[in-house]
A and B are shown apart, each in its own frame.
Chain A
Amino acid sequence: MGNWERLVWNQRHLLLDGLAVTVEICLIAFAAAIVGGLLLCLVRLYVRPLRPVASALIEFFRATPIFVQLLWVNYVWPELFGWPGSFFTAGWVALALQSSGYLAETFRAGIEAVPRGQREAGLSAGMSHALAFRRIVLPQVLLMVAPSLVNQFTVIVKSSTLVSVITVQDLMFQSQKIVHTWLDPIEILTATAAIYILVVFAVSALGKALADVLRRRYGLAAS
Protein backbone atom coordinates (compact mmCIF):
# COMPACT_ATOMS: atom_id res chain seq x y z
CA MET A 1 0.00 0.00 0.00
CA GLY A 2 2.66 2.47 -1.00
CA ASN A 3 -0.25 4.05 -2.73
CA TRP A 4 -0.47 6.40 0.23
CA GLU A 5 2.18 8.57 -1.23
CA ARG A 6 0.83 8.57 -4.75
CA LEU A 7 -2.79 8.99 -3.88
CA VAL A 8 -2.79 11.10 -0.77
CA TRP A 9 0.46 12.93 -0.29
CA ASN A 10 0.81 13.91 -3.94
CA GLN A 11 -2.73 15.19 -3.99
CA ARG A 12 -2.37 17.18 -0.85
CA HIS A 13 -2.85 20.47 -2.67
CA LEU A 14 -6.25 19.42 -3.85
CA LEU A 15 -7.12 18.18 -0.39
CA LEU A 16 -5.93 21.37 1.26
CA ASP A 17 -7.94 23.45 -1.22
CA GLY A 18 -10.97 21.38 -0.34
CA LEU A 19 -10.29 21.78 3.36
CA ALA A 20 -10.04 25.55 2.90
CA VAL A 21 -13.44 25.60 1.24
CA THR A 22 -14.86 23.48 4.02
CA VAL A 23 -13.51 25.80 6.70
CA GLU A 24 -14.77 28.85 4.81
CA ILE A 25 -18.28 27.56 4.34
CA CYS A 26 -18.48 26.36 7.93
CA LEU A 27 -17.37 29.65 9.41
CA ILE A 28 -19.79 31.68 7.31
CA ALA A 29 -22.63 29.29 8.14
CA PHE A 30 -21.72 29.44 11.82
CA ALA A 31 -21.78 33.23 11.92
CA ALA A 32 -25.08 33.33 10.04
CA ALA A 33 -26.55 30.67 12.34
CA ILE A 34 -25.67 32.65 15.44
CA VAL A 35 -27.27 35.78 14.01
CA GLY A 36 -30.29 33.87 12.77
CA GLY A 37 -30.67 31.90 15.96
CA LEU A 38 -30.43 34.97 18.16
CA LEU A 39 -32.94 36.78 15.96
CA LEU A 40 -35.43 33.94 16.03
CA CYS A 41 -35.01 33.58 19.77
CA LEU A 42 -35.51 37.25 20.54
CA VAL A 43 -38.51 37.51 18.25
CA ARG A 44 -40.03 34.46 19.86
CA LEU A 45 -39.51 35.78 23.37
CA TYR A 46 -40.20 39.48 22.99
CA VAL A 47 -42.22 40.21 19.83
CA ARG A 48 -45.68 38.97 20.76
CA PRO A 49 -47.49 39.05 17.38
CA LEU A 50 -44.68 37.26 15.56
CA ARG A 51 -44.24 34.55 18.18
CA PRO A 52 -46.08 31.76 16.27
CA VAL A 53 -44.14 32.57 13.11
CA ALA A 54 -40.82 32.33 14.92
CA SER A 55 -41.83 29.12 16.70
CA ALA A 56 -42.98 27.55 13.44
CA LEU A 57 -39.72 28.44 11.72
CA ILE A 58 -37.68 27.05 14.61
CA GLU A 59 -39.59 23.78 14.57
CA PHE A 60 -39.35 23.56 10.78
CA PHE A 61 -35.60 24.07 10.70
CA ARG A 62 -35.04 21.55 13.48
CA ALA A 63 -37.34 18.84 12.20
CA THR A 64 -36.23 18.82 8.56
CA PRO A 65 -33.14 16.78 7.70
CA ILE A 66 -30.16 18.86 6.59
CA PHE A 67 -29.90 17.02 3.29
CA VAL A 68 -33.49 17.83 2.43
CA GLN A 69 -33.00 21.47 3.40
CA LEU A 70 -29.87 21.63 1.28
CA LEU A 71 -31.60 20.38 -1.85
CA TRP A 72 -34.60 22.55 -1.14
CA VAL A 73 -32.55 25.74 -0.77
CA ASN A 74 -30.44 24.87 -3.76
CA TYR A 75 -33.19 23.92 -6.24
CA VAL A 76 -36.34 25.59 -5.00
CA TRP A 77 -35.26 28.93 -3.59
CA PRO A 78 -33.71 30.28 -6.80
CA GLU A 79 -37.08 29.76 -8.49
CA LEU A 80 -38.98 31.26 -5.59
CA PHE A 81 -36.75 34.14 -4.55
CA GLY A 82 -34.18 34.40 -7.34
CA TRP A 83 -31.53 33.69 -4.72
CA PRO A 84 -29.09 32.01 -3.86
CA GLY A 85 -27.12 32.45 -7.03
CA SER A 86 -24.27 30.07 -6.31
CA PHE A 87 -23.93 26.58 -4.93
CA PHE A 88 -21.60 27.85 -2.25
CA THR A 89 -24.20 30.32 -1.01
CA ALA A 90 -26.91 27.68 -1.07
CA GLY A 91 -24.59 25.53 0.99
CA TRP A 92 -23.96 27.92 3.84
CA VAL A 93 -27.54 29.17 3.84
CA ALA A 94 -28.88 25.65 4.32
CA LEU A 95 -26.32 24.88 7.01
CA ALA A 96 -27.14 28.16 8.75
CA LEU A 97 -30.90 27.54 8.67
CA GLN A 98 -30.51 24.13 10.23
CA SER A 99 -28.29 25.37 13.03
CA SER A 100 -30.25 28.54 13.70
CA GLY A 101 -33.19 26.36 14.73
CA TYR A 102 -31.09 24.64 17.38
CA LEU A 103 -29.31 27.79 18.47
CA ALA A 104 -32.61 29.59 18.95
CA GLU A 105 -33.49 26.98 21.55
CA THR A 106 -30.01 27.16 23.07
CA PHE A 107 -30.22 30.91 23.43
CA ARG A 108 -33.69 30.68 24.93
CA ALA A 109 -32.50 28.23 27.57
CA GLY A 110 -29.56 30.51 28.28
CA ILE A 111 -31.69 33.61 28.65
CA GLU A 112 -34.12 31.85 30.92
CA ALA A 113 -31.27 30.59 33.04
CA VAL A 114 -30.12 34.06 33.99
CA PRO A 115 -31.72 34.71 37.37
CA ARG A 116 -34.45 37.28 37.12
CA GLY A 117 -33.04 39.11 40.10
CA GLN A 118 -30.11 40.30 38.06
CA ARG A 119 -32.31 42.00 35.52
CA GLU A 120 -34.25 43.58 38.36
CA ALA A 121 -31.05 44.81 39.95
CA GLY A 122 -30.18 46.53 36.68
CA LEU A 123 -33.61 48.07 36.36
CA SER A 124 -33.49 49.30 39.95
CA ALA A 125 -30.22 51.02 39.18
CA GLY A 126 -32.02 53.00 36.49
CA MET A 127 -31.23 50.99 33.37
CA SER A 128 -33.72 50.67 30.56
CA HIS A 129 -34.89 47.20 29.56
CA ALA A 130 -32.74 47.25 26.46
CA LEU A 131 -29.66 48.41 28.35
CA ALA A 132 -30.18 45.83 31.06
CA PHE A 133 -30.48 43.18 28.42
CA ARG A 134 -27.41 44.28 26.55
CA ARG A 135 -25.11 44.77 29.54
CA ILE A 136 -26.33 42.21 32.04
CA VAL A 137 -28.26 39.42 30.41
CA LEU A 138 -26.61 39.03 27.02
CA PRO A 139 -22.99 38.78 28.21
CA GLN A 140 -23.93 36.04 30.66
CA VAL A 141 -25.97 34.21 28.07
CA LEU A 142 -23.08 34.28 25.61
CA LEU A 143 -20.71 32.92 28.24
CA MET A 144 -23.11 30.18 29.27
CA VAL A 145 -23.95 28.99 25.77
CA ALA A 146 -20.41 29.20 24.42
CA PRO A 147 -19.80 25.44 24.82
CA SER A 148 -23.10 24.69 23.09
CA LEU A 149 -22.11 27.04 20.29
CA VAL A 150 -18.86 25.17 19.85
CA ASN A 151 -20.81 21.93 19.80
CA GLN A 152 -23.11 23.28 17.12
CA PHE A 153 -20.04 24.21 15.09
CA THR A 154 -18.99 20.57 15.08
CA VAL A 155 -22.47 19.71 13.81
CA ILE A 156 -21.99 22.22 11.02
CA VAL A 157 -18.62 20.75 10.10
CA LYS A 158 -20.09 17.26 9.96
CA SER A 159 -23.10 18.39 7.91
CA SER A 160 -20.90 20.38 5.55
CA THR A 161 -19.80 17.12 3.92
CA LEU A 162 -23.14 17.12 2.11
CA VAL A 163 -22.48 20.33 0.19
CA SER A 164 -20.25 18.25 -2.05
CA VAL A 165 -23.50 16.85 -3.43
CA ILE A 166 -24.43 20.25 -4.82
CA THR A 167 -20.93 20.51 -6.30
CA VAL A 168 -19.35 22.81 -3.76
CA GLN A 169 -15.65 21.95 -3.93
CA ASP A 170 -15.09 21.12 -0.30
CA LEU A 171 -12.81 18.43 1.12
CA MET A 172 -15.34 15.67 0.47
CA PHE A 173 -15.79 16.79 -3.13
CA GLN A 174 -12.07 16.87 -3.80
CA SER A 175 -11.45 13.47 -2.29
CA GLN A 176 -14.26 11.93 -4.31
CA LYS A 177 -12.83 13.56 -7.44
CA ILE A 178 -9.48 11.94 -6.70
CA VAL A 179 -11.18 8.59 -6.22
CA HIS A 180 -12.91 8.92 -9.58
CA THR A 181 -9.66 9.89 -11.25
CA TRP A 182 -7.48 7.16 -9.76
CA LEU A 183 -10.17 4.56 -9.09
CA ASP A 184 -8.53 3.58 -5.79
CA PRO A 185 -10.73 4.56 -2.87
CA ILE A 186 -9.05 3.00 0.13
CA GLU A 187 -6.23 5.38 0.98
CA ILE A 188 -7.89 8.59 -0.03
CA LEU A 189 -11.25 7.99 1.63
CA THR A 190 -9.60 6.74 4.79
CA ALA A 191 -7.37 9.81 4.87
CA THR A 192 -10.38 12.07 4.32
CA ALA A 193 -12.31 10.36 7.11
CA ALA A 194 -9.32 10.71 9.40
CA ILE A 195 -9.01 14.41 8.64
CA TYR A 196 -12.65 15.08 9.39
CA ILE A 197 -12.55 13.01 12.58
CA LEU A 198 -9.45 14.82 13.80
CA VAL A 199 -10.85 18.27 13.02
CA VAL A 200 -14.15 17.56 14.76
CA PHE A 201 -12.34 15.96 17.68
CA ALA A 202 -10.09 18.99 18.07
CA VAL A 203 -13.00 21.42 18.02
CA SER A 204 -14.89 19.22 20.48
CA ALA A 205 -11.94 19.12 22.84
CA LEU A 206 -11.75 22.90 22.64
CA GLY A 207 -15.40 23.11 23.57
CA LYS A 208 -14.90 20.88 26.58
CA ALA A 209 -11.90 22.92 27.73
CA LEU A 210 -13.97 26.06 27.30
CA ALA A 211 -16.76 24.61 29.41
CA ASP A 212 -14.29 23.73 32.16
CA VAL A 213 -12.79 27.22 32.19
CA LEU A 214 -16.23 28.81 32.32
CA ARG A 215 -17.33 26.61 35.17
CA ARG A 216 -14.24 27.27 37.19
CA ARG A 217 -13.97 30.98 36.54
CA TYR A 218 -17.54 32.10 36.53
CA GLY A 219 -19.35 29.25 38.22
CA LEU A 220 -21.56 28.90 35.19
CA ALA A 221 -22.92 25.54 34.21
CA ALA A 222 -23.10 24.95 30.47
CA SER A 223 -26.66 24.83 29.17
Chain B
Amino acid sequence: MSAGLREALNLSVFWEYREVLLKGLAFNFYVFACAAAAALTLGLGAALLRVNRWRPVRWAGTLHVEIFRNAPDYVMVVWVHFVLPLLLGFAIGRRLEFPPFLSAVIALGLVYSGYFAETFRAGIQSIPVGQIEAGRACGMSERLVLWRIILPQVVRRMLPEAVNQFVSLFKATTIVSLIAVPDLMYRVSMVTQQEMRPLPLYTGAALTYFAIIFLAASLVRAAAERWRQKVYA
Protein backbone atom coordinates (compact mmCIF):
# COMPACT_ATOMS: atom_id res chain seq x y z
CA MET B 1 0.00 0.00 0.00
CA SER B 2 2.78 2.39 0.81
CA ALA B 3 4.11 2.14 -2.71
CA GLY B 4 0.67 3.10 -3.99
CA LEU B 5 0.41 5.91 -1.47
CA ARG B 6 3.77 7.29 -2.48
CA GLU B 7 2.74 7.08 -6.10
CA ALA B 8 -0.57 8.77 -5.44
CA LEU B 9 1.01 11.62 -3.56
CA ASN B 10 3.89 12.06 -6.00
CA LEU B 11 2.25 14.97 -7.68
CA SER B 12 5.20 15.84 -9.88
CA VAL B 13 3.43 14.67 -13.00
CA PHE B 14 0.45 16.82 -12.06
CA TRP B 15 2.82 19.75 -11.64
CA GLU B 16 4.51 18.97 -14.94
CA TYR B 17 1.30 19.33 -16.88
CA ARG B 18 0.07 22.24 -14.83
CA GLU B 19 -0.31 24.64 -17.74
CA VAL B 20 -2.48 22.28 -19.72
CA LEU B 21 -4.49 21.41 -16.64
CA LEU B 22 -4.95 25.01 -15.60
CA LYS B 23 -6.34 25.82 -19.01
CA GLY B 24 -8.80 23.03 -18.37
CA LEU B 25 -9.74 24.54 -15.04
CA ALA B 26 -10.36 27.81 -16.83
CA PHE B 27 -12.97 26.01 -18.89
CA ASN B 28 -14.71 24.93 -15.72
CA PHE B 29 -14.90 28.59 -14.77
CA TYR B 30 -16.17 29.67 -18.19
CA VAL B 31 -18.92 27.08 -18.14
CA PHE B 32 -19.71 27.99 -14.55
CA ALA B 33 -19.99 31.71 -15.28
CA CYS B 34 -22.21 31.31 -18.33
CA ALA B 35 -24.41 28.66 -16.77
CA ALA B 36 -24.75 30.72 -13.59
CA ALA B 37 -25.87 33.75 -15.56
CA ALA B 38 -28.43 31.66 -17.46
CA ALA B 39 -29.61 29.91 -14.31
CA LEU B 40 -30.10 33.17 -12.40
CA THR B 41 -32.06 34.80 -15.19
CA LEU B 42 -34.26 31.81 -15.93
CA GLY B 43 -34.64 31.08 -12.23
CA LEU B 44 -35.82 34.61 -11.45
CA GLY B 45 -38.24 34.41 -14.36
CA ALA B 46 -39.64 31.10 -13.19
CA ALA B 47 -39.97 32.37 -9.61
CA LEU B 48 -41.89 35.43 -10.78
CA LEU B 49 -44.20 33.15 -12.75
CA ARG B 50 -44.83 31.13 -9.63
CA VAL B 51 -45.99 34.13 -7.60
CA ASN B 52 -48.16 35.57 -10.34
CA ARG B 53 -51.82 36.36 -9.91
CA TRP B 54 -53.11 33.95 -12.55
CA ARG B 55 -53.16 30.22 -12.00
CA PRO B 56 -52.07 29.04 -15.50
CA VAL B 57 -49.04 31.32 -15.24
CA ARG B 58 -48.17 29.90 -11.82
CA TRP B 59 -48.63 26.43 -13.23
CA ALA B 60 -46.18 27.10 -16.07
CA GLY B 61 -43.58 28.26 -13.57
CA THR B 62 -44.12 25.21 -11.38
CA LEU B 63 -43.78 22.93 -14.39
CA HIS B 64 -40.46 24.50 -15.31
CA VAL B 65 -39.17 24.19 -11.77
CA GLU B 66 -40.29 20.60 -11.21
CA ILE B 67 -38.90 19.34 -14.50
CA PHE B 68 -35.49 20.89 -14.17
CA ARG B 69 -35.01 20.65 -10.43
CA ASN B 70 -35.62 16.89 -10.50
CA ALA B 71 -33.57 16.15 -13.60
CA PRO B 72 -30.09 14.69 -13.04
CA ASP B 73 -27.33 16.97 -14.36
CA TYR B 74 -25.74 14.26 -16.48
CA VAL B 75 -29.01 13.21 -18.09
CA MET B 76 -29.77 16.83 -18.97
CA VAL B 77 -26.32 17.40 -20.43
CA VAL B 78 -26.59 14.33 -22.63
CA TRP B 79 -30.13 15.16 -23.67
CA VAL B 80 -29.37 18.77 -24.57
CA HIS B 81 -26.28 17.76 -26.52
CA PHE B 82 -27.75 14.83 -28.49
CA VAL B 83 -31.52 15.33 -28.62
CA LEU B 84 -32.20 19.06 -28.61
CA PRO B 85 -30.25 19.85 -31.81
CA LEU B 86 -32.19 17.12 -33.60
CA LEU B 87 -35.53 18.46 -32.40
CA LEU B 88 -34.66 22.02 -33.34
CA GLY B 89 -33.29 20.74 -36.62
CA PHE B 90 -36.65 19.17 -37.43
CA ALA B 91 -38.39 22.42 -36.58
CA ILE B 92 -36.32 24.54 -38.93
CA GLY B 93 -35.67 21.85 -41.53
CA ARG B 94 -31.89 21.67 -41.21
CA ARG B 95 -29.31 19.46 -39.57
CA LEU B 96 -28.12 21.04 -36.34
CA GLU B 97 -25.28 20.24 -34.00
CA PHE B 98 -24.45 22.03 -30.78
CA PRO B 99 -20.88 22.79 -29.80
CA PRO B 100 -20.25 21.00 -26.48
CA PHE B 101 -19.69 24.25 -24.61
CA LEU B 102 -23.12 25.50 -25.62
CA SER B 103 -24.82 22.25 -24.65
CA ALA B 104 -23.11 22.34 -21.28
CA VAL B 105 -24.18 25.90 -20.56
CA ILE B 106 -27.76 25.30 -21.67
CA ALA B 107 -28.11 22.04 -19.73
CA LEU B 108 -26.59 23.26 -16.48
CA GLY B 109 -28.32 26.61 -16.85
CA LEU B 110 -31.68 24.89 -17.11
CA VAL B 111 -31.12 22.48 -14.22
CA TYR B 112 -29.87 25.16 -11.86
CA SER B 113 -32.57 27.59 -12.90
CA GLY B 114 -34.86 25.11 -11.18
CA TYR B 115 -32.93 25.40 -7.91
CA PHE B 116 -32.59 29.16 -8.10
CA ALA B 117 -36.27 29.53 -8.86
CA GLU B 118 -37.13 27.85 -5.58
CA THR B 119 -34.62 29.97 -3.70
CA PHE B 120 -36.00 33.17 -5.22
CA ARG B 121 -39.58 32.13 -4.60
CA ALA B 122 -38.94 31.36 -0.95
CA GLY B 123 -37.20 34.71 -0.64
CA ILE B 124 -39.98 36.64 -2.32
CA GLN B 125 -42.63 35.05 -0.16
CA SER B 126 -40.66 35.79 2.98
CA ILE B 127 -40.91 39.56 2.50
CA PRO B 128 -43.60 40.82 4.88
CA VAL B 129 -46.61 41.81 2.83
CA GLY B 130 -46.87 45.07 4.78
CA GLN B 131 -43.77 46.43 3.08
CA ILE B 132 -45.30 45.74 -0.29
CA GLU B 133 -48.53 47.45 0.76
CA ALA B 134 -46.56 50.44 1.96
CA GLY B 135 -45.05 50.67 -1.50
CA ARG B 136 -48.41 50.39 -3.19
CA ALA B 137 -49.90 52.95 -0.83
CA CYS B 138 -47.31 55.44 -2.13
CA GLY B 139 -48.46 54.78 -5.66
CA MET B 140 -45.57 52.52 -6.67
CA SER B 141 -46.15 50.36 -9.71
CA GLU B 142 -45.75 46.57 -9.37
CA ARG B 143 -42.48 46.83 -11.28
CA LEU B 144 -41.10 49.45 -8.86
CA VAL B 145 -42.20 47.39 -5.87
CA LEU B 146 -40.43 44.36 -7.32
CA TRP B 147 -37.14 46.02 -8.17
CA ARG B 148 -36.84 48.50 -5.28
CA ILE B 149 -38.44 46.68 -2.36
CA ILE B 150 -38.68 42.95 -3.00
CA LEU B 151 -35.57 41.97 -4.94
CA PRO B 152 -32.97 43.92 -2.93
CA GLN B 153 -34.17 42.14 0.18
CA VAL B 154 -34.50 38.77 -1.50
CA VAL B 155 -30.88 38.95 -2.55
CA ARG B 156 -29.76 39.69 0.99
CA ARG B 157 -31.94 37.05 2.59
CA MET B 158 -31.19 34.27 0.14
CA LEU B 159 -27.49 34.91 -0.28
CA PRO B 160 -26.27 31.97 1.88
CA GLU B 161 -28.56 29.54 0.10
CA ALA B 162 -27.57 30.97 -3.28
CA VAL B 163 -23.88 30.57 -2.44
CA ASN B 164 -24.49 26.88 -1.72
CA GLN B 165 -26.10 26.50 -5.11
CA PHE B 166 -23.28 28.30 -6.88
CA VAL B 167 -20.88 25.86 -5.23
CA SER B 168 -23.00 22.94 -6.44
CA LEU B 169 -23.04 24.40 -9.94
CA PHE B 170 -19.29 24.72 -10.00
CA LYS B 171 -18.94 21.12 -8.88
CA ALA B 172 -21.39 20.09 -11.58
CA THR B 173 -19.20 21.58 -14.31
CA THR B 174 -16.90 18.59 -13.97
CA ILE B 175 -19.32 16.44 -15.93
CA VAL B 176 -18.98 18.52 -19.07
CA SER B 177 -15.84 16.53 -19.78
CA LEU B 178 -18.19 13.72 -20.74
CA ILE B 179 -19.39 15.60 -23.80
CA ALA B 180 -15.83 16.56 -24.70
CA VAL B 181 -15.64 20.05 -23.25
CA PRO B 182 -11.90 20.34 -22.57
CA ASP B 183 -12.15 21.08 -18.86
CA LEU B 184 -9.82 19.90 -16.11
CA MET B 185 -11.19 16.34 -15.88
CA TYR B 186 -11.10 15.96 -19.66
CA ARG B 187 -7.45 16.94 -19.78
CA VAL B 188 -6.66 14.77 -16.78
CA SER B 189 -8.03 11.74 -18.60
CA MET B 190 -6.10 12.71 -21.75
CA VAL B 191 -2.88 13.03 -19.81
CA THR B 192 -3.60 9.75 -18.02
CA GLN B 193 -3.87 7.96 -21.33
CA GLN B 194 -0.52 9.39 -22.31
CA GLU B 195 1.38 9.00 -19.09
CA MET B 196 -0.39 5.92 -17.75
CA ARG B 197 -0.17 7.24 -14.21
CA PRO B 198 -3.69 7.69 -12.95
CA LEU B 199 -2.94 7.88 -9.23
CA PRO B 200 -1.26 11.22 -8.93
CA LEU B 201 -3.35 12.76 -11.65
CA TYR B 202 -6.73 11.88 -10.17
CA THR B 203 -5.52 12.62 -6.67
CA GLY B 204 -4.20 15.95 -7.88
CA ALA B 205 -7.52 16.75 -9.53
CA ALA B 206 -9.42 15.90 -6.36
CA LEU B 207 -7.12 18.07 -4.25
CA THR B 208 -7.33 20.94 -6.71
CA TYR B 209 -11.11 21.01 -6.71
CA PHE B 210 -11.16 20.63 -2.97
CA ALA B 211 -8.78 23.53 -2.47
CA ILE B 212 -10.61 25.86 -4.82
CA ILE B 213 -14.08 25.09 -3.61
CA PHE B 214 -13.21 25.06 0.06
CA LEU B 215 -11.33 28.35 -0.08
CA ALA B 216 -13.68 30.13 -2.44
CA ALA B 217 -16.80 28.99 -0.63
CA SER B 218 -15.42 30.02 2.77
CA LEU B 219 -14.34 33.44 1.51
CA VAL B 220 -17.60 34.14 -0.27
CA ARG B 221 -19.65 33.00 2.70
CA ALA B 222 -17.71 35.22 5.09
CA ALA B 223 -18.02 38.24 2.80
CA ALA B 224 -21.72 37.62 2.21
CA GLU B 225 -22.37 37.37 5.94
CA ARG B 226 -20.64 40.66 6.60
CA TRP B 227 -22.66 42.38 3.90
CA ARG B 228 -25.92 41.04 5.29
CA GLN B 229 -25.09 42.06 8.83
CA LYS B 230 -24.64 45.65 7.73
CA VAL B 231 -28.32 46.06 7.06
CA TYR B 232 -29.96 43.58 9.37
CA ALA B 233 -27.83 44.39 12.40
A31 interface hit (Cβ, 8 Å): no
Most chain-A CB neighbours within 10 Å: which of B72, B76, B87, B217?
B72
Which of A39-47, A63-71, A119-127 makes up part of the contact surface?
A63-71
When distances are taken between beta carbons in the complex, the residues of chain B under 8 Å from A81 are 1, 4
Q: Confirm or deny: A162 has a beta carbon within 8 angstroms of a beta carbon on chain B.
A: yes
In the assembled complex, the Cα of A119 lies from the Cα of B5 at a distance in Å of 44
A4 at the interface (CB under 8 A from B): no
* From A67, A79, A176, A201, contact of B70 by CB (8 A): A201
Inter-subunit contact A60/B210 (CB<8 Å)? yes
Given contacts A60-B210, A66-B171, contact A80 B87 (CB under 8 A): no
Cβ < 8 Å to B, chain A residues 71-121: 71-72, 75-76, 79-82
Q: Given A68-B209, A76-B198, A193-B79 in contact, is the A161-B1 Cβ separation under 8 Å? A: no
CA distance A126 to B69 in the complex (A): 49
Question: Complex: how many Å from CA A160 to CA B175?
Answer: 13
Q: A59-B214, A79-B8, A186-B83 given as contacts; is B175 within 8 A of A64 (CB)?
A: no
Q: Which residue of B lies closest to A154 (CB)?
A: B70
Chain B residues whose CB sits within 8 angstroms of the CB of A149 once the complex forms: none
Asked, given contacts A79-B8, A80-B1, whether A71 binds B75 with beta carbons under 8 Å apart, the answer is no
- Of B5, B8, B72, the residue contacting A159 (CB under 8 A) is B72
In the complex with contacts A76-B198, A80-B8, A81-B1, A68-B205 CB distance below 8 A: yes
Q: Is B163 at the interface (CB under 8 A from chain A)?
A: no
Interchain CB contact under 8 A, B209 and A64: yes
Q: Which residues of B198-218 are within 8 A (CB) of A?
A: 198-199, 202-203, 205-206, 209-210, 213-214, 217
**Nearest chain-A residue to B214 (Cβ)?**
A63
B67 in the interface, Cβ–Cβ < 8 Å? yes
B178 within 8 A of A: yes
Q: Which residues of B contact A59 (CB under 8 A)?
A: 210, 214
Quick check: is A204 within 8 A (CB to CB) of the other chain? yes
Interface assignment of A196: CB less than 8 Å from any CB of chain B: yes
* Neighbouring A residues of B87 by C-beta, 8 Å: 186
Any B CB within 8 A of the CB of A142: no
Q: Is the CB of A72 within 8 A of B202?
A: yes
**Given A162-B175, A185-B82, A75–B72 Cβ distance below 8 Å?**
no
Do residues A80 and B174 form an inter-chain contact, with CB atoms below 8 A?
A: no
Residues of B within 8 A of A172 (CB): 74-75
Which residue from B82, B202, B210, B214 sits with its C-beta under 8 Å from A71? B202
Q: Whole-angstrom distance from the CB of A118 to the nearest CB of chain B?
A: 28
Provided the pairs A154-B70, A196-B71 are in contact, do residues A67 and B82 lie with their beta carbons within 8 angstroms? no
Given that A63-B210, A63-B217, A189-B78 are known contacts, is A197 also in contact with B71, CB under 8 Å in the complex?
yes
Given known A-B contacts A68-B206, A75-B202, A201-B66, A158 and B79 have beta carbons under 8 A apart: no
Asked if B209 and A193 sit within 8 Å, CB to CB, the answer is no
A186 vs B85: C-alpha distance when bound (angstroms)? 10
A157 in the interface (beta carbon within 8 A): yes
Q: Are A165 and B178 in contact (CB under 8 A)?
A: yes
Known: A66-B171, A185-B83. A161 touches B74 (CB 8 A): yes
What is the CA–CA distance of A60 and B205 in the complex, to the nearest angstrom?
A: 13
Q: When chains A and B are docked, how far (Å) is the Cα of A185 from the Cα of B82?
A: 7
With A65-B174, A66-B171 known, 10 other A-B pairs at CB within 8 A are: A65-B172, A79-B4, A79-B7, A176-B78, A185-B83, A185-B86, A190-B83, A193-B75, A197-B67, A201-B70
- Could you write out 27 A-B pairs with CB less than 8 Å apart? A63-B167, A63-B214, A64-B171, A64-B210, A67-B174, A67-B175, A68-B202, A68-B205, A68-B206, A69-B206, A71-B185, A76-B199, A80-B4, A160-B72, A161-B73, A165-B178, A186-B83, A186-B87, A189-B78, A190-B79, A193-B76, A193-B79, A196-B70, A196-B72, A196-B75, A197-B71, A201-B70
Q: Which 8 pairs between the two chains have the least Cβ-Cβ distance?
A: A65-B171, A200-B70, A158-B72, A161-B74, A63-B213, A65-B174, A79-B4, A80-B4
